[in-house]
Amino acid sequence: MRIGVLAVQGAFAEHIAVLKRLGLDAFEIRNTRDIAGDFDGLILPGGESTVMKKLLHDLGLLAPLKAKIENGLPVLGTCAGMILLAKHIDSGESPCFGTMDITVKRNAYGRQLGSFVCREQFAGHEITMRFIRAPYVTKVGHDAEVLAVHDGKIVAVRQKNQLAAAFHPELTDDTTVYNLFLEMLAKT
């Protein structure tokens, strides 16, 4: 399994470290040359979604990656990565990939209380979730499946080949989120 991790900004190194621990072949996506070959999955890390969106556009990565997602490439978006996938942002900002039928609220927990850790169910397993100036999901489309809720707010969703979490699975030791992503990869 070859998995590309968007590496223009944000917490990409942490995702790559987890993938390597799981014995997977992970590589950084920094420009269009990096996505010329075949790969089996894509990770969009946490970071600053507005910066990543601009860089994706400027580097010519936005359209080819969007086409791959639309063609069924399994994708995992965490935190800012979830915002990149969302079709709608509740502030009215324009979407980035806009491939996932969800509406997200950015910095939804406020600036001061924006970072916290909790334990919640994720797709039937209790896991530790680390949130950092995270978004949450305010609306999901009919074919999007809610996988996790914290404090009454949706924090993880799957829609076909797309998996999105408002928290940072790359910053805890629990690999439950990656295991689900790998199941999605195995099915394609």
> 140-166 in b/e burial notation, b at 16+ Cβ within 10 A?
beeebeebbebeebbbbbbbebbbbbb
Under rule CB under 6 A, residue 102 binds ligand GLN:
no
Q: Is 79 a catalytic residue?
A: yes
Q: Is 14 a catalytic residue?
A: no
Q: Of residues 28, 120, 168, 183, which has the active-site annotation?
A: 168
Residue 168 annotated in active site: yes
Q: For 162, how many CA atoms within 13 A lie in the half-sphere containing its CB? A: 30
Q: Which of 117, 74, 121 is nearest to 99 (CA)?
A: 74
- The site map against ligand GLN for 103-132 (x = CB under 6 A) is ---xx------------------------x
Q: Is there binding between residue 85 and ligand GLN (CB under 6 A)?
A: no
Q: How far is the CB of 48 from ligand GLN (least distance, A)?
A: 5
Q: Which of 15, 79, 88, 150 is catalytic?
A: 79
d(CA 68, CA 60): 14
Q: Where are the alpha helices (DSSP H) in the chain?
A: 12-21, 49-58, 62-70, 80-85, 176-186
Give strand pairing partners of 122: 125
> Residue 78: helix, strand or coil by DSSP?
strand
* Cβ closest to ligand GLN, residue 67 vs residue 118: 118
79 lies in the binding site for ligand GLN (CB under 6 A): yes
Q: What secondary structure letter does DSSP report for 171?
A: G
Identify the active-site residue in 15, 96, 150, 170: 170
- 107 or 188: whose CB is closer to ligand GLN? 107
Does the protein bind ligand GLN through residue 46 (CB under 6 A)?
A: yes
To the nearest whole angstrom, how small is the minimum distance from the Cβ of residue 166 to ligand GLN?
9
Distance CA 187, CA 8 (A): 28
Q: If binding is defined by CB under 6 A, does position 80 make contact with ligand GLN?
A: yes
What is the DSSP pairing of strand 162-165 with strand 153-159? Answer: antiparallel
Among 7, 16, 62, 83, binds ligand GLN (CB under 6 A): 83
> What residues act catalytically?
79, 168, 170
Query: Which residues would be at the binding site for ligand GLN (CB under 6 A)?
Result: 46-49, 79-80, 83, 106-107, 132-133
